[in-house]
Amino acid sequence: MVLEGKSVFGGIAIGPISLYHRQDHVVKRTKVEDTAAEISRFEAAREKAKEQLQALYEKALKEVGETNAMIFEVHQMMLDDLDYVESVTNMISSQKINAEYAVATTGDNFANMFAAMDDEYMKARAADVKDISNRLIMVLSGHEAGAMTGEEPVILVADDLAPSETVQLDKSRVLSFVTRHGSTNSHTAILARTMNIPALIGVDYSDDIDGKMGIVDGYKGRFLIDPSEEELEEYRKAQEQDREKQRLLQELKGKENVTLDGKKINLYANIGGVGDVASALQNDAGGIGLFRSEFLYLESETFPTEEEQFNAYRTVAENMAGKKVIIRTLDIGADKQVDYFGLDKEENPAMGYRAIRICLDRKNIFKTQLRAVYRASYYGTISVMFPMITSVEEVREAKAVVDEVKAELDAEGIPYGDVETGIMIETPAAAMISDLLAKEVDFFSVGTNDLTQYTLAIDRQNPKLDRFYNPHHEAILRMLRMIVENGHAGGCWVGICGELGADTELTETFLRMGVDELSVSPSMILRVREKIRNSRSC
């Protein structure tokens, strides 16, 4: 059987198919007669969930250290909380309902109670209660908590994947993503590119494909289920050819990003966390042009502390050994939602409360991040960059917070490096006033993903609009030209860190515009280098 889809990243994957079980699936209320047996079922699930958490704790302890592993200990303790356990068992016996429903209701009640508290720490426990409740429901309903069972790498098939779910997957075990929904420009698609794995969206599959053999053809947008021996043979050959191409690209390592007529350009990598640095280095990135710091928040169950962030930023700076690392401050909101922020539901989240708007409102969160960035700057070459800027005033307000942070660090005798300040140009407003903004900062990095969304009035999350999402639109190219000219006139260097930066059809155009830097997914660096080396800048 062959299913069609839309490719978000090329390549070929061959392996077993695994359906992703969303943790918050709908729980039905059913009547039970034997409430004692239902309570025993709940008790058994509680034990099993604790065993899973212990295993997760031990795994995390080895991989990410004690501080990050502690959350799994906390979850084990929460499963023993008397109020929680009593609420579930009382509901089962008094209302004669199934354990799944009693757990879901208790989880919601407790989460609402925590969310209403004033204390930030207690507020954040809401997400934990939801998490343990989901885990129990998964066990009760016979699904493993989390995405996958077994150890073998799989083709992961899901209805849709939120960025917060994607970052938590065990990446070494995902050969490819296939989703029913989602758009080419979503962050999940961007993550697939960062991970260098083929990915398809818009695939209409049925649940009976779970466990079958599959082939994902990320070039042609095809998903083969139960392929024949001939098809397997054909795709194994294609995979080998792909590897050969990769090997040829490897020969470009160590070579300069220089055009045929001698113009050089910086070629950096976009990363989402410490785990992506290895692939940036393997692909010979000249620096990190965009560290999407919000992924640290998405991976976490609660606000990452200054120390946790400092450790992450410092590790990246040290591993990049003096090469530039541009940390973008928190860009939460829109499709990147985190429960513990307690943000209201919005009619139009992409146009809503996100990024710098939240940071300037909740300065304690912003300052914690900036302190971590500045402290880490002592260990490498770090730049800071603010997302979703629309006005000069926002930039000044953000810089004032930076000044406060520097004054605090000075007073505490904590050293920090020389940190360049930049902004993302990703709203039409910022593009139109780029002459004024250039006077405020050291550099611009153009976020073409959002700039396209806002300029063409196209929600980048809406798959129906994918065909209208055209970053080659003359409006975008004119804006880019204008941003580069205004940036240079104001003494800023100008880069592109949106996905368009990796579009080799435009590499020559960017060089002619005078773009100084391109920051792309690690997997795209050598392909763009190849293009630069075959291009002319005038």
The residues assigned a catalytic role are 187, 497
Q: Which residue has the tokens 């770090």?
A: 382
- Is residue 301 a contact residue for ligand PEP (CB under 6 A)? no
Nearer to ligand PEP, 115 or 290 (CB): 290
- Rounded distance between C-alpha atoms, residue 18 and residue 169, angstroms: 13
Interface size with ligand PEP, residues (CB under 6 A): 10
Nearer to ligand PEP, 384 or 497 (CB): 497
Is the distance from CB of 265 to CB of 134 less than 8 angstroms?
no
Alpha carbons within 13 angstroms on the beta-carbon side of residue 322 total 0
Q: Site map for ligand PEP, 259-298, x if CB under 6 A?
A: -------------------------------x-x------
- Is residue 447 a contact residue for Mg ion (CB under 5 A)? yes
3-state secondary structure of 370: helix
Is the distance from CB of 129 to CB of 74 less than 8 angstroms?
no
Q: C-beta of 497: minimal distance to ligand PEP in Å?
A: 5
Measured torsion, CA atoms of residues 45, 50, 54, 59, in degrees rounded to the nearest 10: 50
Q: Which stretch binds ligand PEP (CB under 6 A): 62-70, 127-135, 445-453, 530-538?
A: 445-453
- Is residue 193 a contact residue for ligand PEP (CB under 6 A)? no
Which one, of 326, 316, 383, 384, lies nearest residue 356 by Cα?
384
Nearer to ligand PEP, 394 or 426 (CB): 426
Is the distance from CB of 17 to CB of 155 less than 8 angstroms?
yes
- Is residue 497 a contact residue for ligand PEP (CB under 6 A)? yes
Residue 448 interacting partner from Mg ion, ligand PEP, none (CB closer than 5 to 8 Å by kind) = ligand PEP
Q: What is the DSSP string of 131-147?
A: HHHHHHHHHHTTPPSSS
Which one, of 496, 489, 536, 492, lies nearest residue 517 by Cα?
496
- Is residue 450 a contact residue for Mg ion (CB under 5 A)? yes
Q: C-beta of 269: minimal distance to ligand PEP in Å?
A: 12
Residue among 105, 183, 293, 448 that touches ligand PEP (CB under 6 A): 448
Q: Which residue has the tokens 């004669």?
A: 96
Residue among 308, 426, 440, 517 that touches ligand PEP (CB under 6 A): 426
Q: C-beta of 426: minimal distance to Mg ion in Å?
A: 5
- Is residue 394 a contact residue for Mg ion (CB under 5 A)? no
- Rounded distance between C-alpha atoms, residue 495 and residue 486, angstroms: 13
- Is residue 426 a contact residue for Mg ion (CB under 5 A)? yes
Q: C-beta of 162: minimal distance to ligand PEP in Å?
A: 14
Residue 497 interacting partner from Mg ion, ligand PEP, none (CB closer than 5 to 8 Å by kind) = ligand PEP
Q: Which residue has the tokens 């704790």?
A: 57
Residue 292 interacting partner from Mg ion, ligand PEP, none (CB closer than 5 to 8 Å by kind) = ligand PEP
Q: C-beta of 106: minimal distance to ligand PEP in Å?
A: 36
- Is residue 498 a contact residue for ligand PEP (CB under 6 A)? yes
Q: Which stretch binds ligand PEP (CB under 6 A): 28-36, 155-163, 315-323, 447-455?
A: 447-455
Is the distance from CB of 325 to CB of 345 less than 8 angstroms?
no
- Is residue 331 a contact residue for ligand PEP (CB under 6 A)? yes
Q: Which residue has the tokens 């997302």?
A: 387
- Is residue 459 a contact residue for Mg ion (CB under 5 A)? no
- Is residue 447 a contact residue for ligand PEP (CB under 6 A)? yes
Greatest CA separation for the chain: 82
Structure tokens belonging to residue 69: 């592993």
Pairing of β 174-179 and β 517-520:
unpaired
- Is residue 38 a contact residue for Mg ion (CB under 5 A)? no
The side-by-side arrangement of strands in the sheet containing 2-4 is 2-4, 222-225, 213-217, 12-19, 154-158, 174-179, 199-201, 6-9
Binding site for ligand PEP (CB under 6 A): 290, 292, 331, 426, 447-450, 497-498
Q: Give the binding site for Mg ion (CB under 5 A).
A: 426, 447, 450
